[in-house]
Amino acid sequence: MIEAQNLTRRYGRTVAVDSLSFDVRPGSVTGFLGPNGSGKSTTMRLILGLDRPDAGQVRVGGRRYRELRWPLREVGAMLEAKAFHPGRSARSHLAALAAGNAIPRTRVDEVLDLVGLTSAAGRRAGKFSLGMGQRLGVAAALLGDPAVLLLDEPVNGLDPEGVRWIRNLLTSLAAQGRTVFVSSHLISEMALTAERLVVIGRGRLLANTTVAELSAGAASLEAAFFRLTGDSVEYAAKETTS
């Protein structure tokens, strides 16, 4: 369970997140959609306490992230950007994170196996392909067997096989009763993976609904998304006319 209340964050003049309130419930995949620059990554960082909100608050499992004693055991996160040192092996990276939250060392090999990185675990992570880096990020998120998972653009740059792998992983994690909150640009991907949707534009909540409900009145989920976010697209390319 993730509960955001009036979450607000400014960077200089930019209001990245604007009085955002929403709940993310356990047991289903909740997609987090919004145009470029709408505040998805910022919201993720606010949930993890990496950035500080200017107003409002967000709770995970009823508590603020900073109050969690062993955070990885309750919340697993994979952010957009890489979060590992290129000179360190995948195994050492995960071993360090596990030690930091008193997670048994055997769990490192379990998650390496789960994401299919066992054979590459001893290699310097800086040499990993984009997909392997994503898999390492997923492994780190799963390390503490958490009830809440946050993933920022997990399929970015993945090949079709990787995309399907993430999709199946997320739906099975949700089926186990976990809270799965995943941001994406890919509406078609969300249509396949998510059951619920939180849609934002310019940092504001536009919809907190189900995929079925949102697509009901439109030709497709994509059409519904464009209708919803039409007024809040910040960086739009000119339509090409021929």
135 binds ligand ATP (CB under 6 A): no
Instruction: Count CB neighbours of 241 within 10 A.
Output: 4
Q: Are 49 and 66 in contact (CB under 8 A)?
A: yes
CB of 238 to another protein, least distance (A): 34
Q: Which residue has the tokens 């390390």?
A: 143
CB 173 within 8 A of CB 180: yes
Task: Identify the DSSP state of 240.
Answer: P
With beta carbons less than 8 A apart as the criterion, state whether 199 and 231 touch.
no
Burial class (CB in 10 A: 0-12, 13-18, 19+), 180: buried
* Stretch touching ligand ATP by CB under 6 A, among 32-40, 98-106, 161-169, 187-195: 32-40
The correct pick among 2, 97, 205, 221 for binding another protein (CB under 8 A) is 97
C-beta of 92 vs 209, nearer to another protein: 92
Would you tell me how many other CB atoms lie within 10 Å of the CB of residue 200? Answer: 26
Q: Does 38 bind ligand ATP (CB under 6 A)?
A: yes
- Residue 30 interacting with ligand ATP (CB under 6 A): no
- Partner from another protein, ligand ATP, Mg ion, none binding residue 65, C-beta < 5-8 Å depending on class: another protein
Near another protein in 24-53, by CB under 8 A: 45, 48-52
* Binds Mg ion by CB under 5 A, chosen from 28, 41, 179, 193: 41
Query: Are the C-beta atoms of residues 210 and 197 closer than 8 Å to each other?
Result: yes
Query: Counting contacts by CB under 8 A, is residue 59 touching another protein?
Result: no
Q: How many residues does this entry show for the chain? A: 242
User: Tokens 């809040």 map to which residue?
Assistant: 232
Residues that bind another protein (CB under 8 A): 45, 48-52, 65-66, 68-72, 75, 77, 79, 81-89, 92-93, 95-97, 99-102, 140
Residues that bind ligand ATP (CB under 6 A): 11, 14, 16, 34, 36-42, 185
Residues that bind Mg ion (CB under 5 A): 40-41
